[in-house]
């Protein structure tokens, strides 16, 4: 799922606020297809990780209860303008994506 992440990071003092929108179906495996009546297979993000300066600043374990096209926002300290923040995810089918943003 290339290009599924829109990310930006802004600095205020020494705290960076990261905001990301991830395009993903986030299927629970419980819904049925209206036309066929068959269950739609589960397809959801399991892990979201954010790195700054080679260190993991956020490592989230997600499941089927997270909504379609999830929005993620968090803050961490120790960032400077111009630093790079890298966000990546992996889903239950082994698909993944990564995006980077400069802290502004």
pLDDT digits (tens, 9 = 90+) for 13-61: 989 999 999 999 999 999 999 999 999 999 999 999 999 999 999 999 9
Between CA 17 and CA 86 the distance in angstroms is: 13
Between CA 62 and CA 100 the distance in angstroms is: 20
The domain defined by 5-27+40-102 folds into: Immunoglobulin-like (2.60.40)
Mean pLDDT of 97-103: 97
Domain ranges of the chain: 5-27+40-102
| Residues 6 and 19: beta-carbon distance below 8 Å | no
Structure tokens at 18: 């990261």
Q: Would you give the DSSP letter of residue 103?
A: B
Give the pLDDT score at 14.
Answer: 85
**What is the distance of C-alpha 71 from the center of its chain?**
7
């Amino acid at each position: 799922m290339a290009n599924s992440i829109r990310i930006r990071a802004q600095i205020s003092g020494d705290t960076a606020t990261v905001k990301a929108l991830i395009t993903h179906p986030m299927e629970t495996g419980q819904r049925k297809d209206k036309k066929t009546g068959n269950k739609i297979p589960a397809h959801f993000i399991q892990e979201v990780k954010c790195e700054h300066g080679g260190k993991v600043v956020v490592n989230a374990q997600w499941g089927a209860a997270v909504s379609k096209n999830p929005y993620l926002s968090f803050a961490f300290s120790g960032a400077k303008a111009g630093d790079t923040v890298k966000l990546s995810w992996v889903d239950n089918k082994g698909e993944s994506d990564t995006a980077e943003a400069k802290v502004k």
